[in-house]
Chain A
Amino acid sequence: EAGVTQFPSHSVIEKGQTVTLRCDPISGHDNLYWYRRVMGKEIKFLLHFVKESKQDESGMPNNRFLAERTGGTYSTLKVQPAELEDSGVYFCASSQAPAGGAEFFGPGTRLTVL
């Protein structure tokens, strides 16, 4: 069974540009999460999808971040326009049960904003 996959693995962009990150959860997992780890800090929650609906987006830092989950399958996280402080590793995770937390993490996308 395939795990959580993320694309791209690395992205280097200039400040002010747009970047879109993609996550494919484990098949059948209704719960999809986005987390972010910036250098030297703990992993921080961004948002939680249940199928195609946003269950909790309390961790989204500002309106430059837009997450979508088309048809309850894969998810995208767009940052527009990117700022220097957006640099970090963006993890996607999925699980079957919401209260079980993020059971399976993807490999992450390392985003560098110059």
Chain B
Amino acid sequence: QKEVEQNSGPLSVPEGAIASLNCTYSDRVSQSFFWYRQYSGKSPELIMSIYSNGDKEDGRFTAQLNKASQYVSLLIRDSQPSDSATYLCAVNGGSNTGKLIFGQGTTLQVKP
């Protein structure tokens, strides 16, 4: 079992729709969770971090965390073609460690 699992996609949504990206993780001691966006041929860009159960909103992005179910998700409202990218889920294990464990990423395609 992979430590961080994501559906590789592609996930295709029409412009203006809500895109829902999901991630599960295996290590129950994980405390910090991150979503990165990576455009083709570019480096990952941190877009959201979440540390507590519940929702965290930032603009069109909402991260949701459920530690009991070991599940973290990213919702993108009013999806735009410019949101088309690979979205990477990353989990930080334990305390005071900077090591991140990444999933393989979900490719999102937003169609005009």
Stretch at the interface among A14-22, A52-60, A74-82: A52-60
Known contacts A56-B98, A99-B97, A100-B98; 8 additional CB pairs below 8 A are: A33-B99, A42-B102, A48-B99, A55-B97, A58-B99, A99-B31, A100-B49, A101-B32
Contacts of B34 in A (CB 8 A): 101
Q: Contacts A45-B99, A56-B98; is A99 near B32 (CB within 8 Å)?
A: yes
* Cβ distance A96 to chain B, nearest Cβ, rounded Å: 11
Size class of the contact patch on chain B:
20 to 34
Cross-chain pairs A/B with CB under 8 angstroms, 18 sampled: A42-B102, A42-B103, A44-B102, A55-B97, A56-B97, A91-B43, A98-B98, A99-B97, A101-B49, A101-B90, A101-B98, A101-B100, A102-B46, A102-B98, A104-B46, A105-B43, A106-B43, A107-B43
Interface residues of B (CB under 8 A from A): 2, 4, 31-32, 34, 36, 42-46, 49, 88, 90, 92, 95-105
Is A103's beta carbon under 8 Å from chain B?
yes
Size class of the contact patch on chain A:
20 to 34
Asked if B96 and A99 sit within 8 Å, CB to CB, the answer is yes
From B44, B88, B98, B101, A99 is in contact (CB under 8 Å) with: B98
Q: Which 9 residue pairs across A and B have the least CB separation, nearest first?
A: A105-B43, A98-B98, A43-B102, A42-B104, A48-B98, A42-B102, A45-B99, A105-B44, A101-B100
From B2, B88, B90, B99, A59 is in contact (CB under 8 Å) with: B99
Q: Contacts A100-B49, A106-B43; is A31 near B104 (CB within 8 Å)?
A: no
